[in-house]
């Protein structure tokens, strides 16, 4: 007789010492052409499992769930989990750092912001976020660990909602449908409109369809030089750089970043303008 396969929750309970809170961490949006990468942390305790096991048993890889069921379970998890946290790293940081480091940064942030610090972390994937906590890497962790599956659901539903919001901020790309991933519809929209404020310019398919605007670059530089204080500089990022972002080459953006740092140091009193 075949031995029944253990559930994800049973796997967690078999790999965590008694009395320790543990967490799962997962990301959503790493492969997308636009939008933030999102990481979620889901903290579990044995007390929560005893009380809410009937809810937690429903957690699985978020990609294997339909949108309605995933949304409903995410709402339940936010109530029954002892602690959870979600963190974003946007496309500007992704282009500045690279997607791997941005993903690990989001994971570290989600762990820092959890109301209950876990004593053990199960991480989906093969790269450690280096959080300072004991970490165990699990390839296909969302199909192995209940805590990771919970994090997967939280990250996925949060990012989907965020992409629906971004469609209203940058309409016409279809973010509400494809969530920023490289579909045929997304490519067609890029061919028509060029890249926008939320696209990842370090991704080759996006860069290939950019429409760089040298005049807009000059306007963006002039607005940066016109900033009279630190608050104005901070407002420049979202008010000027963000709207222009898709029409700027990465080399131009790097020069703007360097000048921003120089101006910030000067306006903060740490250097010449």
Distances in whole angstroms, Cα of residue 221 to Cα of each of 4, 23, 210, 240:
64, 44, 19, 10
Q: What is the DSSP letter of 66?
A: -
Average pLDDT over residues 208-226: 97
Q: Residue 191 above 80 pLDDT?
A: yes
Residues 6+ positions from 242 with CB-CB distance below 8 Å: 92, 197
Per-residue pLDDT band for 273 (boundaries 50, 70, 90) equals low
Quote the percentage of the chain above a pLDDT of 90. Answer: 93
Residue matched to tokens 């929750």: 9
Query: Is residue 141 classed as helix, strand or coil in its secondary structure?
Result: helix
Instruction: Quote the CA–CA distance of 115 and 108 in Å, as a whole number.
Output: 14
pLDDT at residue 272 in the model: 57
Dump pLDDT digits (tens) for 52-75. 999 999 998 777 888 999 999 999
Q: Which CATH number fits the domain 8-167, given the four candidates 3.40.1640.10, 3.10.580.10, 3.30.420.10, 1.10.3210.10?
A: 3.30.420.10
Q: Residue 47 above 70 pLDDT?
A: yes
**Does residue 34 or residue 271 have the better pLDDT?**
34
Token pair, residue 196, equals 């926008």
Query: Is residue 151 classed as helix, strand or coil in its secondary structure?
Result: helix
pLDDT at residue 2 in the model: 38
Q: Residue 207 above 60 pLDDT?
A: yes
Averaged pLDDT of the chain: 94
Q: Residue 1 above 70 pLDDT?
A: no
pLDDT at residue 61 in the model: 73
Domain boundaries, the chain: 8-167, 214-267
Token pair, residue 273, equals 């303008």
Q: Residue 46 above 70 pLDDT?
A: yes
Cβ atoms 94, 200 nearer than 8 A: yes
Per-residue pLDDT band for 110 (boundaries 50, 70, 90) equals very high
Q: Residue 166 above 80 pLDDT?
A: yes
Dump pLDDT digits (tens) for 112-149. 999 999 999 999 999 999 999 999 999 999 999 999 99
pLDDT at residue 271 in the model: 55
Instruction: Quote the CA–CA distance of 231 and 82 in Å, as a whole number.
Output: 38
Per-residue pLDDT band for 214 (boundaries 50, 70, 90) equals very high
pLDDT at residue 3 in the model: 36
Q: Residue 4 above 50 pLDDT?
A: no
Instruction: Quote the CA–CA distance of 133 and 12 in Å, as a whole number.
Output: 17
pLDDT at residue 64 in the model: 81
């Amino acid at each position: 007789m075949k031995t029944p396969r253990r559930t994800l929750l049973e796997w967690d309970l078999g790999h965590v010492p008694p009395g320790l809170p543990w967490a799962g961490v997962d990301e959503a949006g790493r492969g997308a052409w636009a939008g933030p990468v999102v990481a979620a942390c889901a903290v579990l305790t044995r007390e929560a499992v005893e009380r809410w096991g009937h809810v937690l048993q429903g957690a699985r890889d978020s990609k294997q769930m339909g949108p309605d069921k995933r949304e409903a379970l995410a709402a339940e998890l936010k109530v029954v989990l002892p602690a959870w946290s979600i963190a974003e790293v946007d496309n500007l940081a992704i282009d500045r750092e690279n997607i791997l480091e941005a993903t690990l940064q989001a994971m570290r942030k989600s762990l820092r912001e959890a109301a209950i610090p876990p004593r053990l972390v199960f991480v989906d994937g093969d790269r450690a976020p280096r959080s300072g906590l004991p970490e165990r890497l699990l390839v296909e962790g969302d199909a192995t660990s209940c805590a990771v599956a919970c994090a997967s659901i939280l990250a996925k539903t949060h990012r989907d909602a965020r992409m629906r919001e971004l469609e209203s901020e940058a309409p016409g790309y279809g973010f509400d449908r494809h969530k920023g991933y490289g579909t045929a519809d997304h490519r067609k929209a890029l061919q028509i409109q060029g890249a926008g404020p939320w696209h990842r310019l370090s991704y080759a398919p996006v860069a290939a369809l950019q429409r760089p605007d040298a005049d807009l670059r000059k306007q963006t530089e002039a607005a940066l030089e016109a900033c009279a204080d630190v608050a104005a500089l901070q407002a420049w990022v979202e008010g000027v750089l963000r709207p222009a972002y898709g029409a700027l080459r990465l080399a131009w953006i790097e020069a703007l970043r360097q000048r921003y740092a120089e101006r910030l140091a000067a306006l903060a009193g740490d250097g010449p303008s």
